[in-house]
Chain A
Amino acid sequence: MDLPPTGEESITSTITSEEQTRYAFSNTLYYNRYAVEQKEDIIRYDAKLQLQRQFDRLMNRLQDEWQTYREHFSGVTLREVQEVASNLAATLLHTSPNKIALELTTDATVFFTCMYLGMNAYVEVHFEPGEEPEVVVNAYEDKKSVYAYGGTLTESLQSFYSFLNNR
């Protein structure tokens, strides 16, 4: 007596392992053209969102601390400080520190702490009315100074970038 198929019959595969690889989903035109691009877009989007959140956190911190420290920045406006600090924050975030923080100090400076794997860097911007801000970068590895530089914003960032690339 013929019974209706249950759907559980075993199917003997005639496809070789080489063919399995060749026909794998990740090798299809669809996957290569669309799925990977989409996945990369999602990763890129997530990374961008993460950077944006960190950037906002740093800028909010600057705004909060300004109330306490503004008297020490005599002759310098919040806008001037924000302009330099935002450029610095954005650039430093792109160096992928594991942790980053911003503080203001009583010496009219903005002080960034950046923690990388095996190295900590401290970036400090000095403000003085009518003068170009001075940016000083110090980095330490195992309690030893491995990098120190002072100059304009552009000079210091270029130098620090080059140091990180050669590390």
Chain B
Amino acid sequence: MTLPVKKILGLVLGLGSLVLLPFCGFDGLSPAGHITLGIFVFAAIFWITEPIPIYVTSLSVIFFQILLLSDQSLFLESLIRLSGGEYAAPKYQDFYGTLAHPILILFLGGFSLAKAAEKHALDRNLTRILLKPFGTSPVRVALGVMLVTGILSAFMSNTATTAMMMTVALPIVAKVPASDPFRRLVGLSIPVGANIGGIATPIGTPPNAVAIAALAKHGTMVPFSTWMMIATPLVLSALFVSWLGMCKMFKPELERFELNIEGTFSTSPKAIGCYIIFACTVGLWVTEKLHGIPSAVVAFLPMVMLPALGILDKQDIRSHAWEVLWLVAGGISLGISLKNTGLAEWMIGQVSFEAFPPFMLVLLFALIGFAVGNLISHTVSATILVPIAIAMLAPDVGAGPAATIIPIAVIGIIVSFAMILPISTPPNAIALSTGLIESKDLAKVGWLVGIVGITLTLLFGLFIWPILL
């Protein structure tokens, strides 16, 4: 097997940074800060160039933090001595604890629900019912496909939603003549719906978790309902505007189209159990503000009840996307040391930001996030940017939640709008592999979604969220 140049370069630069940066002797940076800088740069390079899978890089971040920075550090004594006794090494359990961070437990709850919904065709049946009101006008059918994909993707993974919608829609759309742009309109509505829809709830897509976990670490809790309150109107507007643009780009030729999906709701006891648990969990999540039970606590309801009733078995539990949780955990763990060793503060001190008004900074982060998000994993983009952004932009807790949440939510959300390239997101890759669309269609729509997404997110952040929060 030959390693591509990019990977070899990444391997050398990444490991080089890890080993050399701790000895660089930067002014004003603590010894532990130097080590953290090494780990941070190593992780960023490895995440970007992927010599090893991104979730393994995350695990190695946790490993290096424990080996070098925790109370079990191999160099604990010298670390304390060199910093003049000022370094308070975190317990190694704190780093391991990120693997079970409440936001990841929330995701596990979501995984359990999604798996159960899949098993009992709840996702397929919901699609069937929800698409009905959209009638037979081709452009409205496309809007329906986009909205339904968005709604499902808010609670299931973007990838799983895309796969389900593709398998449902493809055999039906395939009957339309290949020359009709309607095929491409529908083929694009699905990845667009999935990518944008993921923004709507905390569990919709991992970058949301990155933003919420960083805010929690900063002392600002974002309840499930609060996230939905700010994100859902944005998602709906972005879907609607994107749909308008896409209908102009791919004007359907046929006049009438019926998207009839066959199926019936299963009424087996297990299926009914699945519906009830799904409804209860989602109900409790969206009403978090009313009853005050944290969403991560509610998440244990499906995790316990679904296997207890035999709706999920151990095979299903093994098939959860554990590596996604590990990917996010590595970022959260890195955040501990960024703050604890003073590295975040030091990095910000290196650049003079006084000249920039906060809005310009948010805009800058948003544009970087969008650019990077197109090239590498959305989660990784958020993981690299959010800790820097939070140190720079989030004021002291005293300034109130709105001032803290808005800039971070903007950055965490904008990466999800990055979908220009086939590699930008797995839903893009799936949509392309069906042959229904081509890369150039995706690029056109990707730019549209990007511009719509960035503009709307900034507008919401400036004018609407301050009122809601």
Partners in one complex: no
Residues of A within 8 A of B (CB): none
